[in-house]
Chain A
């Protein structure tokens, strides 16, 4: 029998409970030997094989982590090739190498070799849900409801050797922008919120299988 794996969800601020609920359900329904915990401290982080950084405000998360001296622990954790990491929305911003805008406000974890643009579609008035065909990377997932809330996008890939786009959408009829990507075999980022997809846990099932159970 394989060792029980532990997935942490960073719980400094934001929609962490939604991720916990989805991951627990996905683990249960697939009989994965996985526990899911909220992570606010170094002690909790050290229990984890994988870390999900949820949506929320990236400025808030980064500042709280810095003030509690938790930032360095997070930095070490996400840079370990033994660990997997998934950043959604604010989580994508928090782990990126570079920010296209508002750089001075956020100290990032410099994990993802990409430049990220915050609030790339605009304000809340430009938030939206779009049904996306993810079947190129998630088998048979042709109709996933992806919700984008004041969402960031990957503006530029800084290392095309390691960072592979998974999905792009058109932004305001301009060129396509990257809204999901993978770096190496252990880092996943999405600018949208699979944890808001009502009862649809397909994205979390795929993450658990590929980045936790089979990792």
Chain B
């Protein structure tokens, strides 16, 4: 069993590698899943309601009905992901039994355990987890996450938190790089981040996270996607942005094209034009101003 851990992890992280350069779209119905697939999504995230609506509801948000996820799995040929609550390892067991292709242990849902994340190494199904800084990313990887998404702020259409989180992770990898010359300081930093020294060391040596790193949370336009790609993300999750816009098919296609041609301003110009009404969204500042508002990126640790 133990001898196979590396091989199993290769299969888990390998799927994330195949998703790179692609767009993973939140969908709530088989019909939306088919629209996403036809637009060129490399995977879909099956959900009962999209983050923008979850935010407004104020209700407990749980794993989606497996029947609905199963219908989406039957509707498309691309990988299907689904979300479980942070720490809810039984929801994860259920989705593993359903054979979804990836599980997102997500702060967008209401956490089930405020102290422990799921021990993801215990599962054969791969997990993606959110992170807003290097320590959080490495803690999730140490628990077995085979893919990281920077958290951003889901359901807002405001890309600024997503930008902040990828910049933070990259800046920390740069900044801590100098610790490689000092084993003591490296160990102290690893303790501070609550991660194994070896994991921190190998990450700093490679100059990047050891698993694929997508961006998420607040992407609403082709330029948003290209911005995050230029900042070093390896692919994009789009949630509410697409199906909260007036012309989802067109916008979905445009975000797919922008993610491939993120370094080509002429192509970005082409795909940015005439997209109809984009998601109105809610700015991060307005959530901060409203004392009742909780930022999702503050959930998870």
- Asked whether A and B interact, the reply is yes
User: Could you tell me which residues of chain A, from 125 to 181, have a CB within 8 Å of some CB in chain B?
Assistant: 125, 127-129, 145, 147, 149-150
Partner of A127, one of B11, B20, B39, B43: B11
User: Could you tell me which residues of chain B, from 266 to 301, have a CB within 8 Å of some CB in chain A?
Assistant: 267
Could you tell me the distance between the alpha carbons of A160 and B21 in the complex, rounded to whole angstroms? 36
Could you tell me the distance between the alpha carbons of A105 and B39 in the complex, rounded to whole angstroms? 11
> In the complex, are the beta carbons of B11 and A60 less than 8 A apart?
no
Partner of A55, one of B18, B38, B79: B18
Give the number of residue pairs across the A-B interface with Cβ within 8 Å.
118
> In the complex, are the beta carbons of B20 and A14 less than 8 A apart?
yes
* Mask of A1-33 contacts with B, CB within 8 angstroms, 1/0: 000000000011111111000000000000000
Q: For residue A28, give the distance in angstroms from its CB to the closest CB of chain B.
A: 19
Partner of A150, one of B21, B39, B101, B264: B101
Q: For residue A78, give the distance in angstroms from its CB to the closest CB of chain B.
A: 19
> In the complex, are the beta carbons of A147 and B11 less than 8 A apart?
yes
* Mask of A54-89 contacts with B, CB within 8 angstroms, 1/0: 011101100110011000000000000000000001
Determine the chain A residues whose CB is within 8 A of the CB of B15 once the complex forms: 124, 127, 149-150
Determine the chain B residues whose CB is within 8 A of the CB of A101 once the complex forms: 77
Is A202 at the interface (CB under 8 A from chain B)?
A: no
* Residue of B20, B96, B253 contacting most chain A CB atoms (<10 Å): B20
Is B217 at the interface (CB under 8 A from chain A)?
A: no
> In the complex, are the beta carbons of A18 and B102 less than 8 A apart?
no
> In the complex, are the beta carbons of A105 and B77 less than 8 A apart?
yes
User: Could you tell me which residues of chain B, from 119 to 133, have a CB within 8 Å of some CB in chain A?
Assistant: 124-126
Q: For residue B252, give the distance in angstroms from its CB to the closest CB of chain A.
A: 11
Partner of B17, one of A15, A57, A60, A102: A15
The prevalent SS among residues of A at the interface is: loop
Q: For residue A22, give the distance in angstroms from its CB to the closest CB of chain B.
A: 12
Could you tell me the distance between the alpha carbons of A203 and B273 in the complex, rounded to whole angstroms? 44
> In the complex, are the beta carbons of A60 and B14 less than 8 A apart?
no
Could you tell me the distance between the alpha carbons of A55 and B11 in the complex, rounded to whole angstroms? 13
> In the complex, are the beta carbons of A11 and B21 less than 8 A apart?
yes
Is A201 at the interface (CB under 8 A from chain B)?
A: no
> In the complex, are the beta carbons of B42 and A13 less than 8 A apart?
yes
> In the complex, are the beta carbons of A64 and B257 less than 8 A apart?
yes
> In the complex, are the beta carbons of A129 and B7 less than 8 A apart?
yes
Is B261 at the interface (CB under 8 A from chain A)?
A: yes
Could you tell me the distance between the alpha carbons of A201 and B14 in the complex, rounded to whole angstroms? 17
Determine the chain A residues whose CB is within 8 A of the CB of B253 once the complex forms: 63, 67
Is A204 at the interface (CB under 8 A from chain B)?
A: no
> In the complex, are the beta carbons of A57 and B22 less than 8 A apart?
yes
> In the complex, are the beta carbons of A127 and B37 less than 8 A apart?
no
> In the complex, are the beta carbons of B125 and A124 less than 8 A apart?
yes
Could you tell me the distance between the alpha carbons of A16 and B41 in the complex, rounded to whole angstroms? 17
Q: For residue A114, give the distance in angstroms from its CB to the closest CB of chain B.
A: 19
* Mask of B229-253 contacts with A, CB within 8 angstroms, 1/0: 0000000000000000000000001
Name the residue on B nearest A118 (C-beta).
B77
Q: A55-B18, A150-B15 are in contact. Are A196 and B256 (CB under 8 A)?
A: no
Q: For residue A201, give the distance in angstroms from its CB to the closest CB of chain B.
A: 16
Determine the chain B residues whose CB is within 8 A of the CB of A196 once the complex forms: 10, 14, 17
> In the complex, are the beta carbons of B102 and A56 less than 8 A apart?
no
Name the residue on B nearest A61 (C-beta).
B40
Could you tell me the distance between the alpha carbons of A39 and B20 in the complex, rounded to whole angstroms? 15
Chain A interfacial positions (CB closer than 8 Å to B): 11-18, 40, 55-57, 59-60, 63-64, 67-68, 89-90, 101-102, 105, 118-119, 122-125, 127-129, 145, 147, 149-150, 193, 196, 198
Nearest first, the 7 A-B pairs at minimum CB distance are A124-B101, A63-B40, A57-B42, A13-B21, A125-B99, A15-B17, A102-B77
A-B contact pairs, 11 of them (CB 8 A): A11-B260, A56-B22, A56-B42, A63-B256, A68-B267, A89-B18, A119-B77, A125-B99, A129-B10, A149-B18, A198-B10
